[in-house]
Structure 1
């Protein structure tokens, strides 16, 4: 079997787990999956997590829509996931790279989210400069919350937060170093948010 190398596919993926703090967690998760238009991404759900793969705009659009649909229940919801680009992985999602860039999920409902992220620009010797640059970008965009060990805090309206994450994901990659991993953890409707 021929070995595939990183950087051979432009596909972007996001593997995540959604955790509603409710005894209705099954309905909330299935409802979010059902209400989100996933027609432009490859998606697979197992007993631990869900993975979506496709063009970057659609992957981020679906990720935000799923989170927003789960949060609109009013229940405290947590999401943890990993965005990745630059490695081929399975090839079942490659057909979705032919989709145009028109976004299918356009819910503009406001929703406060507190989150944390970490960037891992793979093989790039200047990785710390890239991370600091994106933290500065978060500060300039008004979504930076806090510095912490192993992550940076990002908060605000869900649309601003996801816009920052997609920009950071774009800017942290290059043609020379296309392999990038970005982890995110989000909390929505938490009692600790103090009425945000």
Structure 2
């Protein structure tokens, strides 16, 4: 399959509720989210969702928000990927319309970190700096750090930034992109945000 800017993308993630009923929180978030627009598989370590970019980001946000609504402190760690050679499982989901399935607008503070890896692009640092500058302009930038950049704010603004960064970091000449994301939600260190 030829990799272009519109093929399947994926997100492999693990959700870590800091609670005795962690299984209930994880399974509840997965079952309460409408995943009909993505291919999904869960094993004993992580979950992967695959499909159109608009749906992958919508489902990822919905799962995080559903888990967050339990009030439990939780962490989410995952990797978005696009343009990976041979990445075709779940192609049937590319025929879905762009109508998103999950529309919960509940406000939720998120503290997170991300790293962009534009594969085979010699101008990768320019791309990364451009997205960090855009985060500052949008008011979601939190901090510079080794190997990542801090992003925080309402979950809807944070995911919107991540989806835009993912789109902006790809080009026709450099289609393979990886973006890692780590999130902390409902942490006592957030001071009640």
TM-score bracket for the superposition, by shorter chain length:
over 0.9
TM-score under structure 1 length normalisation: 0.95
Deviations 1:24-77 (A, max 9, x none): 100000000000000010000000000000000000000000000000000001
- Note the C-alpha offset of 1:90: 4.8
Task: Give 5+ residue unaligned stretches, structure 1.
Answer: none
Question: What root-mean-square deviation, in Å, do the aligned CA atoms of Structure 1 and Structure 2 show?
Answer: 1.4
1:36 equivalenced with 2:39 (yes/no): no
Deviations 1:79-138 (A, max 9, x none): 000000001445331000000000000000000000000000000000000000000000
Distance (Å, rounded) in 2 between the aligned partners of 1:6 and 1:98? 16
Correspondence for 1:191? 188
User: Do the aligned partners of residues 8 and 101 (structure 1) sit closer, same or farther apart at CA in structure 2, a change above 3 Å counting?
Assistant: closer
Distance (Å, rounded) in 2 between the aligned partners of 1:61 and 1:82? 15
- Note the C-alpha offset of 1:5: 7.6
Q: Could you list the runs of 4 or more consecutive aligned residues of structure 1 that deviate by over 4 angstroms after TM superposition?
A: 4-9
Correspondence for 2:95? 98
The within-5 A match list for 1:50-61 is: 50-61=47-58
TM-score under structure 2 length normalisation: 0.97
What SS does structure 1 have at the residue aligned with 2:117?
A: strand
1:25 equivalenced with 2:56 (yes/no): no
CA contact (8 A) 1:80 1:186 kept: yes
The within-5 A match list for 1:105-144 is: 105-144=102-141
Correspondence for 1:151? 148
1:81 equivalenced with 2:78 (yes/no): yes
User: Do the aligned partners of residues 186 and 123 (structure 1) sit closer, same or farther apart at CA in structure 2, a change above 3 Å counting?
Assistant: same
User: Do the aligned partners of residues 22 and 12 (structure 1) sit closer, same or farther apart at CA in structure 2, a change above 3 Å counting?
Assistant: same
Distance (Å, rounded) in 2 between the aligned partners of 1:36 and 1:19? 17
Task: Give 5+ residue unaligned stretches, structure 2.
Answer: none
